[in-house]
Each structure stands twice: as C-alpha cells, then as structure tokens.
Amino acid sequence: MRQHGQPITLSVNELSDKGDGIADWQGRKVFIPATLPGEVVTVSPYGIKPKYAQAQLLDIVNVHPQRVEPHCPYSECGGCQLAHLAYVEQLKLKQQLVIDALLSKQISQPVSPCLGMQSPLAFRNKAIYAVRSENGEPQIGFYRKNSHQVIDIVSCPVQHAQTTEIIAAIRHWMKEFNIAGYDEEKHSGCLRYVMIRHGFKTKACMVVLVTLTDELPHKAELLNLLTKIENIESIIQNINPAPVNRILGDKQQICYGNDVITDELHALTFNISAHSFYQVNPQQTDVLYETALNFAELTGNETVFDIYCGIGTISLYLAQKAKKVIGIEIVAQAIDDARDNAARNEITNTEFYVGKAEEVVPLLYDQKQHADVIVVDPPRKGCDPIVLQTMVSMKPERIVYVSCEPASLARDLAILQQSGYYVTKIQPVDMFPHSMHVETIVQLQKI
C-alpha cells in the first residue's frame, strides 16, 4: 500500500453528490475536489480508510475540455462545487442527474433540457455569514467544506452585490470597537452570524445581527454605519443563546425600520421576515413556479391542493387561475405568512391549514374535500407514503410534483405510476448555479 500523502496519478470517473470527482484506487473510492469526469490527475491521498479516501489535487494531467477558471478564489467553502465547469455543461450535467435517477426506477420518459440563467452570478437574495475572531481580527464568511472553520471572505460573486458593502461596514465596526466574534468551543463572544436578505424587485434590504446575548456593544455606531447604506429598510438583532448550530434564536428586537421587507414575484407582493422561508433565487423561482402553473393546466374551475405550501408562493400563483386553492404546511409561522400574503394581494379563493401533511391531507379527504389538481413540493426526503396514498385516493386529473432531490422524486414517481398515473412532462430548473442541486417539475396525468 502507498504511504499516506505519496503522490499518485488517477483517472476521474464520476462526480459525487457533493461535486467531488471520484476515482478508483486499490479497491477504494477516492474523492477529489475540483475535478471532472475524464480528467487524469495527480493527487496526494489522505484520510485513507478501507473503502474510501480523500485526496488533495496537485496537478491535472489531462484537462476536461469544458473546464473554466472559477469565478471565485474561495473554493474551500464548497458552495460553488461546479465553478470550474462551463455553465452550459453544468446544465447538461443536471439534466443527466435527473435522467439517471429516473432510469434507476425504470422511468424512461424524456427529460427536457435544464432551464438555466442568462447570468448565473449575483443571484442569491439571502446570505448567512458566520462570524468568528482570530488573533483579535474579525473573520466573517462561510464554513470551510466539511468543517466549522470560517473562511474570511471579502466578496462572494453569487450573492447580491450589496452584501460586500454591508459586510465591510460590519468588519470595520468590529475592528474599531474590538467586538468579539463567536467562539464555538467556549460558547462566548458577541456576534454569531450576519444574515442579509434582499428584495430583488423592490431593492429593499434587511440585515439580521445574530448575537449570543442581549448585549450589542456600540450598537449606535454600527447602526450609523449601516443606515448610510442605500436601501437598508430593516435592521434586526436576533438573540441566540443556545450552544447549537441553529442560526436564529426565538427572541429578536428591531433596531431600525420594520420587521419585514417586501418583494414581488409574478405581480404578487410578499412580506419577508427574518424567519420566513423564501426561495433564494427569485429569477429562477419565477421560472419554476410559472412552469408548475403551466403544468397544472388550470381552466378556472378546479380545486387545487398545494401540499407543503410554505408561505403560499405557489398557492397564490395557482389561485389566479383556479377556483380554489387549499394549502397545507407544518410550520405555523409559514401558514400565518401565507394567509397574510393572500390578504395583501387581495386573493380570496385560498384556504391554509397548519399541520403534518400526512395528517391534514387524509383528514381533509375524510371530510369529503376533493382536489382536481394536486401540486406537491416536499422536502428533500420526498412525500410521506400516507400523503401519496391519499393523493391517489383523491383521483385528481393531474399531479404536479416539484422536487429538489432527484432520488426521492424518482421513488415517488414510481409509486404514483404503479397507482394509476403516468408521467407526461419533466422539466429541470437550475435554482442553484455552480452547485450539484437541481429542481425538477413533473406533470402526471391520471390514466
């Protein structure tokens, strides 16, 4: 066996779900960041286990023809896993990820090309920066891949451009007044995280300062810096005293402006709070939801169930063309937001229920509630089996399945196909350029 760290040359065969290249070496899978299938690379292996190993890339002997210079120098954060692959090839890769997942369940219907962005940078409307201190200097950035070590980041190209200015102001304040970043081991310090949210259409900005305790030293000086930045309409201090990885605590106070900002999607207005779930790529969200609306093929006479509805964004899209939309979501705050958003947009043909989908959907069915069309947008694990069973029992004419995980999508589609539905349209959408993530919308028709 080669010694730990001794350079070896390997051929990359495939990509992992984290975007690392995978090569075979002495009966092991070797995971190599920033490599592509077909490349021959020289690496230094480490973390060698009986069945797998990690490796540091030393040199690329045979370069992939679609390799490009990454748009960002901070490759260690692992956020842009495919930044070294040309964007058009990223879209082809994501289409193939969906194809492969469906074929694993004997679903062979054609998959449309992945819908991408014209400009796949500066698309995120939400950023969460971890804050630490090192030798008295503030460290504000993202976690190094597979660790809780913070990479100090000056600018992130996929974030809204204004985040750079905001983080620079906070960094300046921390230096000037010796404000301590959070020490995870000692559970001490002041500032734990900075969350920044933007309304892309409205340009409104919210800054959330997550602190360990109620104390925020030199608050007035920080507010003076931040309020000079254009479009900041909300500054909130959120207090999270718990020694856990959860970003936000339950307690917060408004330091400036309001507790929400607004944004617009598809001529609809949505309030966004610090805790709100809201898709982080608004341009592609419009593409995703417009596709789901088209797949629903509404005529104005249908009752639609929107299962796992969140704050009601898809529900309100659908309500503009449906007779009635019933939304179900487990998070109570999200349902409150959904009802508020419906009222704000003067949409009166919606009803929202809070609870587990596997409990609420069967209960509504038992109460003789019927869906002509069902739209389902579950978490990564996919639909609960009881939800699938109840959907089938309702016998809707169409099901529109919105998925963020090809494997669970394929599993659930196979169940639905065995239960009287067939897949008619499959459309991937690139919500997270430069990553391995892909959203997929599928239309199913009742046989």
DSSP string, 295-319: HHT--S--EEEEES-TTSHHHHHHH
Whether 146 is in a domain gets the answer yes
User: CATH code at 150?
Assistant: 2.40.50.1070
Contact between 380 and 266 (Cβ < 8 Å): no
Contact between 261 and 233 (Cβ < 8 Å): yes
- Write down the pLDDT at residue 136: 87
Whether 276 is in a domain gets the answer no
Q: What is the DSSP letter of 157?
A: T
Amino acid letter for position 188 = S
Give the Cα separation of 227 and 205 in Å (integer): 11
Whether 212 is in a domain gets the answer yes
Active site residues per annotation = 404
Please check whether residues 288 and 399 belong to one and the same domain.
Answer: yes
Among candidate residues 236, 265, 294, the one where a domain is terminated: 265
Whether 79 is in a domain gets the answer no
Amino acid letter for position 32 = I
* Dihedral sign for Cα atoms in the order 175, 176, 178, 179: negative
Please check whether residues 241 and 301 belong to one and the same domain.
Answer: no
Whether 74 is in a domain gets the answer no
* C-beta neighbour count of 72 within 10 angstroms: 16
Joined tokens for residue 299: 């005529």
Please check whether residues 101 and 40 belong to one and the same domain.
Answer: no
Give the Cα separation of 328 and 357 in Å (integer): 6
Give the Cα separation of 152 and 132 in Å (integer): 9
Give the Cα separation of 274 and 333 in Å (integer): 11
Tens of each residue's pLDDT in the chain, 447 residues: 445 578 999 999 999 999 999 999 999 999 999 999 999 999 999 999 999 999 999 999 999 999 999 999 888 888 899 999 999 999 999 999 999 999 999 999 999 999 999 999 999 999 999 999 998 899 999 998 878 899 999 999 999 999 999 999 999 999 999 999 999 999 999 999 999 999 999 999 999 999 999 999 999 999 999 999 999 999 999 999 999 889 999 999 999 999 999 999 888 999 899 988 888 999 999 999 999 999 999 999 999 999 999 889 999 999 999 999 999 999 898 899 899 999 999 999 999 999 999 999 999 999 999 999 999 999 999 999 999 999 999 999 999 999 999 999 999 999 999 999 999 999 999 999 999 999 999 999 999
Contact between 92 and 15 (Cβ < 8 Å): no
Question: At a CB cut-off of 8 Å and minimum separation 6, what does 329 contact?
Answer: 308, 309, 310, 335, 338, 352, 353, 354
Contact between 102 and 111 (Cβ < 8 Å): yes
Residues counted in the chain? 447
b/e sequence 243-268, b meaning 16+ C-beta within 10 Å = eeeebbbeebeebebeebbebebeeb
Give the Cα separation of 32 and 24 in Å (integer): 11
Please check whether residues 332 and 253 belong to one and the same domain.
Answer: no
Please check whether residues 367 and 287 belong to one and the same domain.
Answer: yes
Please check whether residues 200 and 249 belong to one and the same domain.
Answer: yes
Please check whether residues 301 and 432 belong to one and the same domain.
Answer: yes
User: CATH code at 44?
Assistant: 2.40.50.140
Give the Cα separation of 210 and 248 in Å (integer): 7
Please check whether residues 250 and 171 belong to one and the same domain.
Answer: yes
Geometric angle at alpha carbon 290, from 287 and 292, rounded to 5°: 110
User: CATH code at 113?
Assistant: 3.40.50.150
Please check whether residues 104 and 131 belong to one and the same domain.
Answer: no
Please check whether residues 381 and 414 belong to one and the same domain.
Answer: yes
Please check whether residues 353 and 402 belong to one and the same domain.
Answer: yes
Among candidate residues 265, 293, 326, the one where a domain is terminated: 265
Please check whether residues 252 and 133 belong to one and the same domain.
Answer: yes
Residue 304 dihedral angles phi and psi, to the nearest 5°:
-115, 135
Question: At a CB cut-off of 8 Å and minimum separation 6, what does 439 contact?
Answer: 284, 288, 402, 403, 404, 428, 429, 430, 431
Give the Cα separation of 237 and 254 in Å (integer): 6
Joined tokens for residue 51: 């069945």
Whether 134 is in a domain gets the answer yes
Whether 344 is in a domain gets the answer yes
* C-beta neighbour count of 21 within 10 angstroms: 26
Q: What is the DSSP letter of 85?
A: B
Q: Which domain holds residue 205?
A: 126-265
Whether 273 is in a domain gets the answer no
Residue 434 dihedral angles phi and psi, to the nearest 5°:
75, 10
- Write down the pLDDT at residue 266: 85
Tell me how many domains the chain contains: 3
Say if pTM beats, i.e. exceeds, 0.85: yes
Strand 324-329 and strand 350-354: the pairing is parallel
Among candidate residues 265, 297, 317, the one where a domain is terminated: 265
